[in-house]
Amino acid sequence: RQSYNMPDIEYWIANSTFGPQAVYLDGDYCDGTLAACTADDSFASYVSKGIRYIAPPMQMLLKATNGRYEASEYAVAAKAAGLKIITWTLERSGPLQTGGGWYFATTRDITNRDGDVYEMLHVLFSKVGIEGIFSDWPATVTFYANCKLHPMQRRASTCGA
């Protein structure tokens, strides 16, 4: 289960067997800097309440640094607090040649071709350390998971050698 409503999350943790898997959807919609986002002490508070999973939008987890995608301050602080991260929503925007729209607000300056989604996805998994990602079109995530995350199981015909 998932919710933006903290009392829902707290109730599920206290009263249900699936409580430990409850996902708190972070609706701050900030730029990924700690100055603009939830402070470190909020992450510690989440953990003390038994929250294990948070789910902010992608833009809160990424920043553009020297022409590259990098983990945001928010992402680093959440992981340091021990939280697991699920993010949203991949491939909800139109073509990336125009910057990708709202979900790419913090990386718009370096997002200019559709293939950038793979670089971004790689940083989300390898540097941010996400557990999962919501996607409107799962083909991209499935391709990435099959070819990059599980390379021993990949087939040359599917992953391009």
Phi, psi of 44 (to 5 degrees): -65, -40
Q: How confident is the model over 94-143, as pLDDT tens digits? A: 778 877 888 889 999 999 898 899 999 999 999 999 999 998 888 889 88
Scanning 5-154, the segments in alpha helix (DSSP H) are 6-15, 40-48, 73-80, 116-123, 139-144
Q: How confident is the model over 3-40, as pLDDT tens digits? A: 999 999 999 999 999 999 999 999 888 999 988 886 65
pTM of the model: 0.90
